């Protein structure tokens, strides 16, 4: 059963097509990521799926309910953590949770139990009665996650859950997200522009650029499909015997040699390095050092779009893409 089914969803703001005919589905219990640079359309997708924004065209089902025809049922089955903080800093953590639980018509006794439970999920029991104004950034984010869980949603939407947090806090938030996905079987869909976040957390990732999904798969398969491993060797003496020994090997994708350095693109680097040594040995070449670089999602993104995801400036990205397109056409 799918928790989310998105069918040809489009959102236009005037002439701008922010989300362009996007289709995907998320299985129940899955941890799914939308990865893309600033302005890719991630928040716009989330806003449509959570019924905050009406699509220009297309449709979606959340927990089996249609976002257009059945928004109330959609809302009661989802939790949302917005990209922009939305806590009341003049209230304590507990009061924020109380208020939210009341909006979901959860009775007083049930509220007490659930608040205690969600506070313990994010380890904020000790801060429950402190004003949110005095929380750190990471604590605020954890409180928002707790708040998103208060009505036991079947599907949790997290828009940039760790934006602007330091590496250590980010990692602890990742652990909370992973735990609640595993222990509570909550389906999680998150957006991020952090490659390592998508790579670490998500079972499958849709890479979004300019409102379109340009790739969708597991992080590992995306890496396997779009990039091979890089192996660089330093050798003693001429490289020609090694190069001829490697010719025609199906696991070698590319070879470049320069002054005692040989750079190879290979499939399954760690499995084939021993073969590489055997061939070197057989051809009388001595390898004095070897290094293996496994592709990252960043490499995949650059491969697909011709630009790094960290480029904040859209016009620069467009320029990079054009350069990349010309390079590919050559």
- Of the two residues 188 and 252, which places its CB atom closer to Mg ion in the complex? 188
Structure tokens at 187: 């389906």
- Of the two residues 52 and 87, which places its CB atom closer to ligand ATP in the complex? 52
Which CA distances in Å does 92 have to 106, 134, 242, 299?
19, 9, 68, 43
- Contacts of 312-315 with C-beta under 8 Å, sequence gap 24+, read 312/37, 312/38, 314/38, 314/39
Q: Which does 134 bind (CB under 5 to 8 A by kind): ligand ATP, Mg ion, none?
A: none
Show the binding pattern over residues 64-103: x = contacts ligand ATP (CB under 6 A), - = does not. Answer: -------------------x--------------------
41 makes contact with ligand ATP (CB under 6 A): yes
- Select from 75, 140, 193, 227 the one that contacts ligand ATP (CB under 6 A): 193
Angle at the Cα of 56 from the Cα atoms of 51 and 62, rounded to 5 degrees: 35
The pairing of strands 252-258 and 261-266 is antiparallel
- Within 78-97, the residues that bind Mg ion by CB under 5 A are 83
134 makes contact with ligand ATP (CB under 6 A): no
Q: Are 287 and 281 in contact (CB under 8 A)?
A: no
Q: Are 190 and 49 in contact (CB under 8 A)?
A: no
- Select from 4, 26, 33, 44 the one that contacts ligand ATP (CB under 6 A): 44
* 212: alpha, beta or left? (left if phi > 0; alpha if psi -120 to 50): beta
Taking the complex as a whole, how short is the minimal distance between the CB of residue 303 and ligand ATP, in angstroms? Answer: 20
Taking the complex as a whole, how short is the minimal distance between the CB of residue 34 and ligand ATP, in angstroms? Answer: 8
User: Could you write out the DSSP letters of every residue in 303-321?
Assistant: HHHSS-TT---HHHHHHHH
Taking the complex as a whole, how short is the minimal distance between the CB of residue 13 and ligand ATP, in angstroms? Answer: 3
43 makes contact with Mg ion (CB under 5 A): yes
DSSP 8-state code for residue 131: B
Q: Which does 149 bind (CB under 5 to 8 A by kind): ligand ATP, Mg ion, none?
A: none
The pairing of strands 155-159 and 78-81 is parallel
Q: Which residue is nearest to Mg ion (CB)?
A: 43
- Of the two residues 191 and 230, which places its CB atom closer to Mg ion in the complex? 191
Taking the complex as a whole, how short is the minimal distance between the CB of residue 207 and ligand ATP, in angstroms? Answer: 12
Q: Which does 161 bind (CB under 5 to 8 A by kind): Mg ion, ligand ATP, none?
A: none
Cα–Cα distance for residue pair 25/32, rounded to 1 Å:
9
Taking the complex as a whole, how short is the minimal distance between the CB of residue 96 and ligand ATP, in angstroms? Answer: 23
Binding site for Mg ion (CB under 5 A): 42-43, 83
Binding site for ligand ATP (CB under 6 A): 13, 16, 18, 36, 38-44, 83, 193
């Amino acid at each position: 059963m799918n928790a989310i089914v998105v069918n040809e969803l489009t959102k236009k703001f005037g002439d701008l097509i922010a989300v362009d005919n996007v289709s995907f589905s998320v299985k129940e219990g899955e941890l799914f990521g939308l990865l893309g640079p600033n302005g890719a359309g991630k928040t716009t997708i989330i806003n449509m799926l959570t019924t905050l924004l009406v699509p220009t065209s297309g449709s979606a089902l959340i927990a089996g309910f249609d976002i257009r025809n059945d928004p109330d049922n959609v809302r009661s089955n989802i939790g949302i953590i917005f990209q922009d903080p939305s806590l009341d800093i003049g209230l304590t953590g507990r009061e924020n949770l109380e208020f939210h639980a009341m909006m979901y018509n959860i009775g007083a006794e049930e509220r007490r139990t659930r608040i205690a439970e969600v506070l313990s999920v994010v380890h904020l029991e000790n801060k429950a009665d402190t004003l949110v104004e005095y929380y750190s950034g990471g604590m605020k984010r954890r409180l928002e996650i707790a708040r998103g869980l208060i009505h036991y949603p079947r599907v949790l939407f997290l828009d940039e859950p760790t934006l602007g947090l330091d590496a250590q806090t980010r990692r602890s938030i990742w652990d909370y997200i992973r735990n609640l996905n595993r222990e509570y079987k909550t389906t999680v869909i998150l957006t991020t522009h952090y490659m390592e976040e998508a790579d670490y957390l998500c079972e499958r990732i849709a890479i979004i650029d300019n409102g379109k999904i340009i790739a969708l798969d597991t992080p590992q398969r995306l890496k396997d499909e779009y990039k091979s491993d890089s192996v660089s060797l330093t050798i003693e003496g001429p490289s020609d015997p090694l190069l001829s020994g490697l010719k025609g090997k199906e696991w070698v994708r590319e070879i470049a040699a320069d002054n005692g350095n040989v750079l190879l693109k290979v499939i399954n680097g760690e499995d084939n390095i021993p073969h590489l040594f055997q061939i070197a040995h057989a051809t009388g070449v001595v390898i004095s050092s070897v290094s293996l670089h496994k592709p990252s999602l960043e490499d995949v993104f650059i491969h697909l779009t011709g630009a790094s995801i960290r480029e904040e400036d859209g016009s620069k990205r467009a320029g990079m893409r054009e350069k990349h397109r010309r390079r590919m056409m050559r």
